[in-house]
Amino acid sequence: MAGFVGVVLTVVLSVCVLVEGNYMVYDTAQGVVPGKLNVHLVPHTHDDVGWLKTVDQYYVGSNNSIQVACVQNVLDSLIPALLADKNRKFIYVEQAFFQRWWRRQSEATKKTVQILVSTGQLELINGGMCMHDEAATHYIDMIDQTTLGHRYIKQQFNVTPRIGWQIDPFGHSAVQAYLLGAEVGFDALFFARIDYQDRAKRRDEKKLEFIWQGSKTQGSSSQIFSGAFYAGNYEPPTGFYYEVNDESSPVVQDDINLFDYNVQERVDAFVAAALSQANVTRSNHIMWTMGTDFKYQYAETWFRNMDKLIHYVNQDGRVNVLYSTPSIYTDTKHALNEAWPLKSDDFFPYADRINAYWTGYFTSRPAIKGYVRTMSGYYLAARQLELFKGRNKSGPTTESLADALAIAQHHDAVTGTEKQHVANDYAKRLSIGYKESEDVVAAAFGCMTQSSSFSECKDPPTKFTQCPLLNISYCPATEVDISQGKKLAVLVYNSLGWKRTSVVRIPVINENVTVSDSTGKVILSQIIPIVNASIANKKFYATAYTGESTSAGPMYWLAFTAEVPPLGFSTYVISSGKASASIKPRSYTFGGAQNSSAVEIGSGNLKLIYSGNNGTLTQYINSRSSVNMSLEQSYTYYAGEAAGTDQASGAYVFRPNGTSEVQPEEKFPLRVFKGPLYDEVHQMINSWIYQITRVYKEKEHVEVEFTVGPIPIDDEVGKEIVTQIKSNIGNNKTFYTDSNGRDFLERIRDYRADWDLEVNQPIAGNYYPINLGIYIKDNNTELSVLVDRSVGGSSITDGEVEIMLHRRLLYDDGRGVDESLNETVCVLDKCSGLTVQGKYYLRFDPLGEGSKWRRSFGQEIYSPFLLAFTEQDDKWTNFAIPTFSAMDSSYSLPDNVAILTLQELEDGTVLLRLAHLYEDGEDKDLSVMATVELKKVFPNKKINKIKEMSLSANQEREEMVRKRLSWKVEGSKTKQDNDLRGGPVNPVKLTVELAPMEIRTFIIDFNTKLVQY
């Protein structure tokens, strides 16, 4: 061994002789060497777009007492480090940071960086504004935030990112693999966090790298080469960590004139670490992720040490080491022309060790999750209106909302795993973005109601107001005293591509009001008093959110049915008169000696029956579909495991310690409001859970509005509140949950397809993320539950669906955030635990008929009617343009197609995304090829040119498909099966075909002279 060291020293000395004095030139030019183990060093930094600090604090490097991190330092120090040696490489991921930096660089620096990007020394990968989460995100938000980053990179550098780099999110979704992977043109997808049991098996079987087919419908064209990092993290192997001023790893000391020379020792350690990783990896290529959170504050320390490792390890010769990137690594794997194992479905839930399922974050911070979803639907509508009116170059625009929403998709934002002050920062950004978009929308409505040629409209006379706190009945705009010679005009906008009929509810102060439609005809309306519980909630939260104390305010909910054309609006006028129905509650008390008779709710096809004994829900009867099912519903909480055990329940981890049924604290009566449009049942479950159940005459689902909180903690026990919906469906351990609101995946309790699950957390380990809904079925019936935001849920016992609505916990769960998830809201000095109000919807259908409701009503939940109000005097009759549709008046989109994006881009072209809503075989009528007639979607515009783009709209789709690598799958003979896609756009008829689950993205160039709706 001594002799071996001697040989190395001789070589070192001979190199030194070649140069002046002690100046040392390191040979870093090494490429791949066939036949040797190749270690690909991938220098990277992982920069959270907010977590312990806000995005801006991380960027500028403030608030360092929380975490020493400054992204500006990373990017500033990176450029000279890369220029110092053309063999050095780096990947950069988070565009939110990169753009903050790029905007402030000189033209000279920009030129330099453009060269670094074009030579591949600096590679921009993943490329969205943030590294989005994959559980609590909706696919439309994932697409939008990726598009924002990808198009910017294309504009500034004329490149398209090739690699998905989701190294930190807490589990991985099927939609990420096929939509945000294959469909954006990525050649590979890399990540770190998969279940510890899964990882152990994959290491044993060398299956950490595989072909992931995320879509059942799209088959092999949805495949992507994927790699899960062998150690479950994205750090370098132990001992090879070179952050400035960090002492955890020895630097490579190769100056023989100084003490502690350690070259051979470091080379040996390097070879040992490489061989150990090679033992669990196929082929003779392995990747080392050289970096971690916010590293490269002084980039030179990393590169200096990597230069030396490359130089000396290659001299040693046992393994080959090179500067690399995930693209180079992927290309070398591809060039091997080997077959890889196939993976389907997804990587949820994620546990990093026994008893530590990261399934709590599916529900953590439910109010932020609700806010993100509400803003997402609003942004979709606001972009449409911005297009119809014409984008205003000098503002306001929807851009700040786009930016705020993009950042909110980060894996420590919508997940709820950030510190409280950071959560506040995300909410503030959304609120600022909303405010500006609200002006865009108001101006569009002002112009569009004024004249049909509104493209030149500047200062519309009608000022429309909107009410973001309408859900808690706070809406100053509707508090018009109608009895004082005033009228209230309501504009109802529908952003869906179908005509839509739904009940609208607005808070009013007068009981005697009538509603007329746009023809002046009085329509059916109902008035329901606002209950005291809602008024108390409104007063506290409106003050907390607006900073202004509110008056007693509206006393009634006025409800009427709005009928609105596709991509259009209808207007209604509220004036003095007598409402069709003024509804007083009827109270039922239960228990005691005499049994009351059962209470029946619902005046249409759907009826709910409540027990005469105790007032609980017992039966769901649909007279049209002949579904008659027993149905119960209740609330339960899990006590969060405390600190001092092996694992506390916290922002990330759901670790229940037993369950407790929520018992009513006293016998509260059932209060029932029956009206011609809908019936309501009010139940005060206990002092901190209030529930309203609605059955609409014209709908066949149940709407449940829950108000949960403040969750009591005076017993010093954190609580996680769930609702349980119980039926007698025999679902045999099987249930279905959506992937990011898109595909439904089959889940089987206590089972994983990829390994033999050792069950140690029978509840937390069966939780899955839900963004659209969850359903169970047997041979006759389906029970579907749809949600209004991201939540966690499961089917813990047969027949039952459970969703978690709110969490309040008293301990940190040890995953870095270092705060307990204990959200409070304060007004002046009075703080209390956060109350969350939301909705879920449930419905039974005969087997095979549930998907129509899940898909079409799911769109209505995502895109609720957008309401705007304006006060008028008594003489006013109507708007010049009282109704509008952007589409041909005879047209609506097919039932299986939705518009995901309709937006004017900066250059005046239009971005259009159409999505087929059904999977292959999901519905007997609608899982078929659909056709959209663009001429009827844009009846008043002439389409000059239409280009089909990749999903993130940064390259033409044809080019993306041509460039994309194709891979061989083990055990499959054919390279590609024939997956079904729509054909090319018919250039004359301008029709677009969409196959099941297909999303098509177009950039359309209109003849702008003709712009007129």
Closer residue to Zn ion in complex, CB, 131/542: 131
Residue 40: both structure tokens together:
């690909």
- Residue 251 phi/psi, 5-degree rounding, is -70, 160
Residue 168 interacting with Zn ion (CB under 5 A)? yes
Closer residue to Zn ion in complex, CB, 347/918: 347
Residues 6 or more apart whose CB falls under 8 angstroms from that of 443 comprise 389, 392, 396, 457, 460
Closer residue to Zn ion in complex, CB, 48/479: 48
Half-sphere CA count of 718, side-chain side, radius 13 A: 28
Closer residue to Zn ion in complex, CB, 648/817: 817
Residue with smallest beta-carbon separation from Zn ion: 168
The CB-of-257 to Zn ion minimum distance in angstroms stands at: 42
Question: Is the Cα dihedral 304, 308, 311, 314 positive or negative?
Answer: negative
Is residue 970 helix, strand or coil? coil
The CB-of-708 to Zn ion minimum distance in angstroms stands at: 29
Closer residue to Zn ion in complex, CB, 289/518: 289
By residue count, the chain amounts to: 1013
- Residue span binding Zn ion (CB under 5 A) among the ranges 41-49, 174-182, 275-283, 419-427: 41-49
Cβ atoms 949, 914 nearer than 8 A: no
Where is 1002: in which H helix or E strand? strand 999-1006
Pick from 792, 798, 621: which is nearest to 722 by CA?
Answer: 792
Site string for Zn ion, 109-148 (x = CB under 5 A): ----------------------------------------
Closer residue to Zn ion in complex, CB, 53/806: 53
The CB-of-422 to Zn ion minimum distance in angstroms stands at: 12
The CB-of-287 to Zn ion minimum distance in angstroms stands at: 19
The whole-angstrom separation of Cα 790 and Cα 770 is 6
Cβ atoms 266, 296 nearer than 8 A: no
Residues 6 or more apart whose CB falls under 8 angstroms from that of 756 comprise none
DSSP notation for 696-731: ETT--SEEEEEEE-PPP-TTS--EEEEEEEE-----
Pick from 824, 48, 794, 784: which is nearest to 415 by CA?
Answer: 48
- Residue span binding Zn ion (CB under 5 A) among the ranges 137-145, 161-169, 568-576, 650-658: 161-169
Closer residue to Zn ion in complex, CB, 48/195: 48
Closer residue to Zn ion in complex, CB, 369/410: 410
Is residue 219 helix, strand or coil? helix
Residue 641 interacting with Zn ion (CB under 5 A)? no
Query: At residue 473, what is the residue type?
Result: S
Closer residue to Zn ion in complex, CB, 172/749: 172
Site string for Zn ion, 351-370 (x = CB under 5 A): --------------------
Residue 48 interacting with Zn ion (CB under 5 A)? yes
Residues 521-580 that bind Zn ion (CB under 5 A): none
Question: Is the Cα dihedral 334, 337, 338, 342 positive or negative?
Answer: positive
The CB-of-119 to Zn ion minimum distance in angstroms stands at: 28
Query: At residue 634, what is the residue type?
Result: S
- Token look-up 């950030």 returns 418
- Token look-up 């089909």 returns 948
Closer residue to Zn ion in complex, CB, 134/168: 168
The CB-of-75 to Zn ion minimum distance in angstroms stands at: 17
The whole-angstrom separation of Cα 125 and Cα 45 is 12
The CB-of-234 to Zn ion minimum distance in angstroms stands at: 9
Closer residue to Zn ion in complex, CB, 173/737: 173
The whole-angstrom separation of Cα 192 and Cα 863 is 34
Q: How many positions of this chain bind Zn ion (CB under 5 A)? A: 2
The whole-angstrom separation of Cα 403 and Cα 392 is 17
Closer residue to Zn ion in complex, CB, 69/937: 69
The CB-of-131 to Zn ion minimum distance in angstroms stands at: 7
Residues 6 or more apart whose CB falls under 8 angstroms from that of 381 comprise 441, 493, 495, 863, 866
Is residue 363 helix, strand or coil? coil
The CB-of-424 to Zn ion minimum distance in angstroms stands at: 19
Radius of gyration of the chain, Cα coordinates, nearest whole angstrom: 30
- Residue span binding Zn ion (CB under 5 A) among the ranges 67-75, 164-172, 198-206, 851-859: 164-172
Give the Å distances, CA to CA, from 741 to 330, 506, 926: 30, 28, 18
The whole-angstrom separation of Cα 322 and Cα 956 is 33
The CB-of-48 to Zn ion minimum distance in angstroms stands at: 4
Closer residue to Zn ion in complex, CB, 48/517: 48
- Residue 751 phi/psi, 5-degree rounding, is -145, 140
In this structure, are strands 188-191 and 163-166 parallel, antiparallel, or unpaired?
parallel
Closer residue to Zn ion in complex, CB, 292/837: 292
- Token look-up 């994006």 returns 901
The whole-angstrom separation of Cα 418 and Cα 632 is 36
The CB-of-193 to Zn ion minimum distance in angstroms stands at: 10
Where is 627: in which H helix or E strand? strand 627-630
| Cis peptide leading into residue 396 (ω within 30°) | yes
- Residue span binding Zn ion (CB under 5 A) among the ranges 44-52, 314-322, 470-478, 815-823: 44-52
Closer residue to Zn ion in complex, CB, 290/579: 290
The CB-of-94 to Zn ion minimum distance in angstroms stands at: 9
The whole-angstrom separation of Cα 695 and Cα 592 is 28
The CB-of-410 to Zn ion minimum distance in angstroms stands at: 8
Residue 974: both structure tokens together:
């054919």
The CB-of-249 to Zn ion minimum distance in angstroms stands at: 21
- Residue span binding Zn ion (CB under 5 A) among the ranges 45-53, 132-140, 185-193, 967-975: 45-53
The CB-of-46 to Zn ion minimum distance in angstroms stands at: 6
The CB-of-411 to Zn ion minimum distance in angstroms stands at: 6
Closer residue to Zn ion in complex, CB, 409/950: 409
Residue 874: both structure tokens together:
């008594």
Binding site for Zn ion (CB under 5 A): 48, 168
